[in-house]
């Protein structure tokens, strides 16, 4: 933590350098960032994002975060729902050194085993995790709304943040042949190449819509169980409208081949949709956090809270604050829907 990530990043940079020498050229700009002072409050990444917020808000397509690249052999990935299919696609194209199957297949088998234990099945089965905090994606996603992914190979707890987290441990026990470091560099490198080169940005907001609707349903059940006098029907409608619009948008993208000038408009739309979840006013009691759907829970450490302002108001049974947060969430979903509807006929 985080030198396994730094070494994987250097390997990605070296590999892309080799490709550049052979004539490869990305169509979008790739920036490598190695952040200072993460442990002291994400200081390096936060300062950089704040300093460059205008041009990042306007242009940044995605942010890929790797902190601890390897402390085991289980691939884990969290991120925005619009990048789930993209992440799955890359995972399907890289081989897991231990199982010989794809990273995706190994990951799905583990998800199935875990879900069997907790008896939670259904279409959330293969969802990637939600982003809370504890690493440098926070300013990118939660301050300015850049779609983000965070990934790494995980193992049993014990070495992380301890005196045993050393090169000796990694070489002897953690990843003796550094095969998982190399595998992470392959996944990361493929993601960078696809995001920087694919003509159509690989975002799918229909999954975002389904997730948002599910989050709202779960919060509504919470409000009911707490017997709060809170009407969330408008928020439910906004979530369902966003989901429907996003599904229709995605269906058209799957069906039609886009002409070059429309491609530009569609990419602009896909880029702006995540930004629609940013509310300049920020969340209640912590205005720096401006993403209405994802934040670390105030009392949850690194864990993500979805529709955090609303969930927290419900937890503390603060009705007036819950109404404000519900209205803020509703507006964000309406903005996202409007972004997709604008130029809805590519």
Kindly state whether residue 247 participates in binding Zn ion, applying the rule CB under 5 A.
Answer: no
CA–chain centroid gap for 18, Å, is 29
| Contact between 1 and Zn ion per CB under 5 A | yes
As given in the structure block, the two tokens for residue 10 are 């250097």
Per-residue x/- mask for Zn ion, residues 161 to 200, rule CB under 5 A? Answer: ----------------------------------------
Work out how close the CB of 12 gets to Zn ion at its nearest, in angstroms, rounded to a whole number.
21
- Of 1 and 47, the one with the shorter C-beta distance to Zn ion is 1
Give the whole-angstrom CA distance, residue 323 versus residue 299.
21
Closest contact distance (angstroms) between CB of 14 and Zn ion is 25
Between 1 and 217, whose beta carbon lies closer to Zn ion? Answer: 1
Cβ 136 to Zn ion, closest distance in Å?
11
Report whether 208 contacts 130 (CB < 8 A): no
- Name the residue whose CB lies closest to Zn ion: 1
CB of 60 to Zn ion, least distance (A): 24
Nearer to Zn ion, 1 or 222 (CB): 1
**Residue 154 binding Zn ion, by CB under 5 A:** no
Judged by beta carbon, residue 1 or residue 105, the one nearer Zn ion is 1
Which residues 6+ apart lie within 8 Å of 316 measured at CB?
none
Does 6 sit near Zn ion (CB under 5 A)? no
The alpha-helical segments, DSSP class H, found in the chain are 3-21, 43-51, 53-59, 84-92, 103-118, 137-138, 144, 167-169, 179-197, 205-225, 233-255, 260-275, 308-315, 319-341
Burial zone of 203 (CB within 10 Å; 0-12 exposed, 13-18 middle, 19+ buried): buried
Residue 47 binds to Zn ion (criterion: CB under 5 A): no
User: Is 38 marked active-site?
Assistant: yes
Among candidate residues 11, 18, 38, 105, the one labeled active-site is: 38
Residue 43 interacts with Zn ion (CB under 5 A)? no
Asked if 304 and 131 count as a contact pair (C-beta separation under 8 A), the reply is yes
Give the residue with the Cβ less far from Zn ion, 38 or 312. Answer: 38
User: What's the Cα-to-Cα distance from 197 to each of 29, 189, 205, rounded to whole Å?
Assistant: 10, 12, 20
Compute the least distance from the CB of residue 139 to Zn ion, in Å. 16
Q: Which two tokens stand for residue 225?
A: 């169980």
Q: Active-site positions?
A: 38
Residues that bind Zn ion (CB under 5 A): 1
């Amino acid at each position: 933590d985080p030198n396994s990530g730094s070494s994987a990043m250097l390997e990605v940079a070296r590999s892309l350098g080799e490709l550049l020498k052979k004539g490869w050229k990305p169509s979008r700009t790739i920036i490598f960032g190695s952040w200072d002072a993460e442990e002291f409050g994400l200081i390096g990444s936060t300062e950089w994002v704040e300093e460059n917020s205008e041009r990042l808000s306007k242009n940044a397509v995605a942010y890929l975060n790797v902190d601890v690249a390897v402390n085991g052999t289980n691939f884990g990935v969290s991120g925005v729902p619009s990048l789930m299919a993209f992440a799955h696609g890359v995972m399907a194209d890289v081989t897991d050194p231990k199982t010989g199957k794809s990273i995706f297949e190994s990951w799905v088998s583990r998800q199935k085993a875990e879900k069997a234990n907790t008896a939670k099945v259904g279409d959330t089965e293969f969802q990637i995790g939600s982003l809370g905090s504890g690493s440098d994606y926070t300013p990118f996603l939660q301050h300015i709304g850049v779609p983000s992914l965070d990934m790494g190979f995980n193992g049993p707890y014990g070495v992380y943040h301890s005196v045993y987290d050393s090169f000796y441990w990694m070489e002897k026990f953690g990843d003796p042949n550094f095969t998982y470091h190399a595998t992470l560099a392959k996944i990361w490198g493929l993601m960078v190449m696809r995001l920087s080169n694919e003509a159509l940005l690989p975002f799918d907001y229909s999954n975002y819509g389904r997730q948002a609707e599910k989050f709202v349903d779960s919060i509504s059940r919470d409000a009911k169980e707490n017997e709060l006098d809170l009407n969330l029907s408008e928020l439910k409608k906004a979530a369902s409208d966003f989901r429907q619009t996003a599904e229709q948008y995605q269906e058209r993208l799957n069906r039609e081949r886009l002409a070059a000038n429309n491609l530009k408009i569609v990419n602009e739309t896909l880029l702006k949709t995540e930004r629609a979840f940013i509310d300049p006013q920020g969340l209640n009691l912590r205005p720096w956090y401006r993403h209405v759907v994802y934040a670390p829970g105030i009392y949850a450490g690194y864990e993500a809270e979805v529709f955090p302002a609303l969930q927290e108001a419900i937890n503390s049974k603060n009705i007036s604050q819950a109404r404000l947060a519900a209205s803020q969430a509703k507006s964000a979903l309406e903005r996202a829907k409007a972004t997709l509807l604008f130029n809805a006929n590519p």
